[in-house]
Structures are given as C-alpha cells and as structure tokens.
Chain A
Amino acid sequence: MTLAAPPLAVSTADRAESPSGARLGRVSGLGLGTAVIWLSLLVLIPLAAVVAKAFGGGWSGFWHAVTRHQAVQALELTVGSSLIVSLINAVMGTLLAWVLVRDSFPGKRLVEMVIDLPFALPTIVAGLVLLAVYGNGSPIHLDLYATQRGVAFALLFVTLPFVVRAVQPVLMALDTEAELAAACLGAGPVTVFRRIVLPLLLPAIVSGAGLGFARAMGEYGTVLLLSGGLAKAQVSSQYVYGQIQNYDYVGAAATATVLLFISLAVLVGLDLLQRRAARRG
C-alpha cells in the first residue's frame, strides 16, 4: 500500500467530514479572511522568515551553518535524548494510563492532577524544581547537573502527560469482553495484553509519544538550568538562543529550520497514521 497523497493537501474528504458544513456567507467569509491574515502575521510569515534567513546564503550557506561542530553536537543531543525520552514515555505512559483506568486506589484523583503538572508548570519553574532535587547538592545524592542524562531527565519531566493522556480515553472505551474472551480461550495476562490490548492502544501510544517527541525537540526552559549552559549538555534551542545573542541570525535560523522541519515531519506523520487508523475503523 502506498500513501502517495500529499499530507496536508485539501482533499475532497473535507466536505464529507462536516456533513452539515454550510458554505461561507459574507460574515463568515470575512471572519475566515481575518483569521487567515492574523495567522499569517503571527505564525506563517515569521516562520517563513526563519526558513528564508536560513537559506539566505543558498544551500551551501545553510549546510555550512547547520554542520558547525556545536550545532551538530546540540542537534545530536536533542534528537537522541528526545528519542530515548519518547521510548520511556511510551512504556511508562501506557503503564500509568493502565493504572489510572483499570486500577482504583485512594488518591487516584490526585495522581490524575499531578500527571498534568509537569506539562502545565512554567518551564523555568520546572527547571528550577528539577535543579533543586537533581542538581548540585542534590538532597537525594543524584547529581545530574550539566550532564546529558540531566537533559533527558528534564525532557522526561515535561513530556510526562503526553502518552498517558493519549492512551487513557482509548483504554476507557475499550471493551473488556474481548479480553475476557481471550482469557477464556486460555491466554495468560501477558498474552492478552500483547495480543489483544496492545494492538488497539498502539496508535494512541505512537501518537502520544510522537507529540511528546515534538515537544521535547523544542524544549528550552526546563533544560536551561539543569544543563548549566555547557556546550556538551546544550540542546538545539539553547544553541539557537546563543546564536541570537551573538547576532548570528543565519546560524540561529539554520538550526531553527531543522527543528521546524522535524516537528512538521512528526505532525504530518502522526496525521497520516491517524487517518490510516481511522480508515481501518
């Protein structure tokens, strides 16, 4: 099966998706126009400016800027730790979702709320909080300051809810009869989970992990304090900020463009995945 269709193109499916969708009138047309202009001014044109700046010196200028030693080092750390974090999230997030949906214990509601905290906390505050425990003079003797493990840990913190929140509703809607049927047919708990539950959860797990990955790729505030700003523990966002401070806008824009395209690729990939899952029903 090939997926030749361009990902974000307008398809004829548009109309089918909103059966009651009226055609635009005068007021709604004006509203759409205003929204598009605002979105262009706020989001589209500025992001286009980043890409334009990155390629201002042509392809070779861009390539030269992104292959600088520090840029590559930062990008490797960002992509690498984001990938590791997404894998851990996929496992732990599914486990947490399972505990929150299928288990019941006193304080469950509190855990529900605590899960959202890392994501909702201002990033610099999150960074400060992590530093207080896992930085120099850690009260639990776990010093992650200025290490790559520290960066990964910070990313783990901010992306905690993504998989949990993606998997939870799917797990809730899951019919337990299929599991019971499998159990009656002699399947052990692990087999039931692997053969019956996991395939149904997989799209949600991938989608949650993917969104968490995109978030991790762009994280700045949470990582800032724990990484200590040293080159070896610097993520791409920090590198971009450094280049802005040095008025090296081309260098900043080049790495920023790479980040942008990675997020875009993840979003498009997830969209395709979702549409494929939806088509299967």
Chain B
Amino acid sequence: MASTAVGSRRSRYGLRAVGLVYVGAIVLIPLYVITYRTVADGWSTFWAAISSDEAVTAFRLTGEVAVAAVVINTVFGVGVALLLSRYSFRGRRVLSALADLPISVSPIVVGLALVLVYGPATGWFGKHLSFQIIYALPGMVLATAFVSLPLMLRELVPVLEEAGDDMEQAARVLGASARQRFVRITLPTIRPALMYGLVLTFARSIGEFGAIRVVSGNIQGSGQTQTTTLLIEDKYQNFEPGTYQLAMVLVLATILAIVLTSFRRSKEDVS
C-alpha cells in the first residue's frame, strides 16, 4: 500500500505532516479543549448537569423523537431501497433523486417548509387539522425524519444492488412466498447495512438542531419540546453551567456511532 510511483520518502512525510496538522487544527484541538473543559469541572458537576430534571426530560424527548424517526425511515428506507434495486418503473430516477434531496436542504428551510404546511392556523394542511403538529412532538418527528431520510436508503441500495436478485429468485423457485423470501433471504443479506443505517439515522436524529428549533417552539417545563441540542444552545446563550457536559454526552454518542460504523469501512478494505 505504501509503495507508490509518486513521491520520495521526504515528500511523503511532508504530505503526511500537512494532512495531520490540518486534521489536528480542525478537529483534534477543539475536541481536546471541550473534553478538557468538561473534565475540569469535575465528575460531580458532570453528573449534576446530565441528571438534572430538564436534562433528563430533554434526553427522553430526544430519544423518543429519534426512535420514531428511525422507525419511520427504516420502513421507508427498506421499502424504497427494494423498489429502486428490484423493479423498473417510470420515475425511478426521480424517486431516487428526491429521496436523496433532504441531505442538501438547510435544516432551517426544512423547518420553514414544515411550518408552512403543517403550522396551526396558517399552514396549508395545519389549519384543517384538529390536533397540533408544529410546536409539538409530531412536528419534531417529521423534521427529524426529513433530515435523516436518505441515510438508511444510502446504506441499503448499494448492498441490494450488489447482491442482485439471484438468491431471491432461487428461493422463489424453491417455493418461498414473497414474505418468506424477504425474511429468509433479503433480510439476512441486508442485515449489516441495516444496522449501519440504524446507527447513522439515530446519530443524525439525536443531533438535529436547526429544523427542530424551528418546529418545536423550544418550550421548556411542562409540555417541554426542548431536545438535548436545544437545551445546550439555551444554556450556552444564558451562560448557565452544564453546557459542555451536555455537549459531551452527544460527542460520546457520536464517537460511539463512528466506531460502530467504522467496521463497515475496514471490512471494505479487506475485500
């Protein structure tokens, strides 16, 4: 791997140094500083910050919203991935492009879009509904599902395309029904990708900030719509203690997600 036609040993060390310094300045130093600030305040401060009522409520709310978004996007992702990889129909490309679009939309625009349609009183659909979507849990789930929509799909489609439909066809001639084929053949084939998709979608969901900020109304106390990210921002703006500690929880969750999904990459390296 290290052998290459281009570059002497000296230029290789040079490139390596530049690359590492860049990564260090952009990622590692900031990460070190925030870890330091969290730890510097001591373990008891950390514990107090993450076990306060508002923190626990925020964690629970974040979890609920994320789980709902993960479930929705898994059902949608598996279904659409199967459609895109196993069927040919008019508009296949358009569906694929549309499902990929949310990645490139500003979260604030996502929030605005949902408010315009589902907002109470003025929204296209919202004004006809008897229950509240925006400034309540359903809107937060919609916003989160929107921003994390393509992640599952992006994991599944390449795996399904690479596996081809030979196995499913073989199972079919052996007498397996559509349901049996899905459970016994397709599901085991996509299981690793499905797991990675779940982790990525969940990680993205607990971290959503902008879209949630627009649709949640950022309500504290009873009927709280303040998720962990909103609480972090709130505490920071009000100079309240606990900002770094709460942020650290999300940093650790992100690192865990990256470690879990890094196995995917190392497996690719081997093959």
Q: Name B17's closest neighbour in chain A (CB-CB).
A: A99
| Beta-carbon contacts under 8 Å, A1-56 to B | 8, 10-11, 14-15, 17-18, 20-24, 27-28, 31-32, 34-36, 38-39, 42-47, 49-50, 53
Q: Give the docked Cα–Cα distance between A104 and B19 (Å).
A: 13
Q: Would you give the shortest CB distance from A77 to chain B, in whole angstroms?
A: 14
The yes or no answer to A149 lying at the interface (CB within 8 A) is no
Q: Give the docked Cα–Cα distance between A116 and B97 (Å).
A: 24
The yes or no answer to B127 lying at the interface (CB within 8 A) is no
Given A47-B105, A197-B6, A267-B97, answer yes or no on A24-B87 (Cβ-Cβ < 8 Å).
yes
Is A53 touching B116 in the complex (CB atoms < 8 A)?
yes
Is A256 touching B106 in the complex (CB atoms < 8 A)?
yes
Is B97 touching A98 in the complex (CB atoms < 8 A)?
no
Is A120 touching B257 in the complex (CB atoms < 8 A)?
yes
Q: A44 — which chain B residues lie within 8 A by C-beta?
A: 98
Q: A183 — which chain B residues lie within 8 A by C-beta?
A: 5-6
Interface string of A111-132 (1 = CB under 8 A from B): 1111111101111110011101
Is A43 touching B265 in the complex (CB atoms < 8 A)?
no
Q: Name B62's closest neighbour in chain A (CB-CB).
A: A122
Is A96 touching B19 in the complex (CB atoms < 8 A)?
yes
What total of chain A residues lie within 8 Å of the partner, measured CB to CB? 103
Q: B117 — which chain A residues lie within 8 A by C-beta?
A: 45-46, 49
Is A125 touching B88 in the complex (CB atoms < 8 A)?
no
Q: B12 — which chain A residues lie within 8 A by C-beta?
A: 102-103
Q: Give the docked Cα–Cα distance between A267 and B98 (Å).
A: 11
Is A192 touching B6 in the complex (CB atoms < 8 A)?
yes
Is A39 touching B19 in the complex (CB atoms < 8 A)?
no
Q: B94 — which chain A residues lie within 8 A by C-beta?
A: 8, 10
Is B209 touching A123 in the complex (CB atoms < 8 A)?
yes
Q: B85 — which chain A residues lie within 8 A by C-beta?
A: 18
Given A103-B16, A124-B209, A189-B11, answer yes or no on A42-B149 (Cβ-Cβ < 8 Å).
yes
Q: Give the docked Cα–Cα distance between A8 and B94 (Å).
A: 6
Is A28 touching B19 in the complex (CB atoms < 8 A)?
no
Interface string of B76-120 (1 = CB under 8 A from A): 100110110111111111110111111111111111111111100
A18, A21, A43, A180: the one contacting B102 at CB < 8 Å is: A43
Is B266 touching A116 in the complex (CB atoms < 8 A)?
no
Q: A132 — which chain B residues lie within 8 A by C-beta?
A: 30, 33-34, 37, 244
Is A241 touching B213 in the complex (CB atoms < 8 A)?
yes
Chain B's interface size range is 35 or more
Q: Would you give the shortest CB distance from A69 to chain B, in whole angstroms?
A: 20
Q: Give the docked Cα–Cα distance between A100 and B146 (Å).
A: 33
Is A121 touching B254 in the complex (CB atoms < 8 A)?
yes
Is B95 touching A36 in the complex (CB atoms < 8 A)?
yes
Q: Give the docked Cα–Cα distance between A102 and B27 (Å).
A: 22
Q: A101 — which chain B residues lie within 8 A by C-beta?
A: 1
B8, B99, B112, B251: the one contacting A125 at CB < 8 Å is: B251
The yes or no answer to B28 lying at the interface (CB within 8 A) is yes
Q: Give the docked Cα–Cα distance between A114 and B22 (Å).
A: 12
Is B112 touching A253 in the complex (CB atoms < 8 A)?
yes
Q: Give the docked Cα–Cα distance between A165 and B104 (Å).
A: 17
Query: Which of B43-51, B52-60, B187-195, B229-237 is near enough to bind chain A?
Result: B229-237
Is B106 touching A129 in the complex (CB atoms < 8 A)?
no
Query: Which of A60-68, A199-207, A210-218 is near enough to bind chain B?
Result: A210-218
Is B104 touching A218 in the complex (CB atoms < 8 A)?
yes
- Top 4 closest pairs, chain A to chain B, by CB: A122-B207, A21-B88, A218-B106, A46-B113
30 residue pairs of the A-B complex, CB under 8 angstroms, read A8-B93, A20-B165, A34-B79, A35-B79, A43-B101, A45-B124, A47-B105, A95-B18, A95-B22, A96-B22, A102-B2, A102-B6, A104-B1, A109-B262, A111-B19, A122-B207, A124-B209, A125-B232, A129-B30, A129-B31, A132-B30, A134-B30, A176-B3, A189-B7, A218-B107, A237-B109, A240-B108, A259-B109, A263-B106, A267-B101
Which positions in A face B, CB cutoff 8 Å? 8, 10-11, 14-15, 17-18, 20-24, 27-28, 31-32, 34-36, 38-39, 42-47, 49-50, 53, 92, 95-96, 98-105, 109, 111-118, 120-125, 128-130, 132-134, 139-140, 156-157, 160, 176, 179-180, 182-183, 189, 192-193, 197, 211, 214-215, 217-221, 224-225, 236-238, 240-241, 244, 249, 252-253, 256, 259-260, 263-264, 266-267, 271
Known pairs A113-B259, A113-B262. 11 more at Cβ < 8 A?
A8-B93, A24-B87, A31-B82, A32-B95, A35-B76, A129-B251, A179-B5, A214-B103, A217-B106, A240-B112, A259-B105
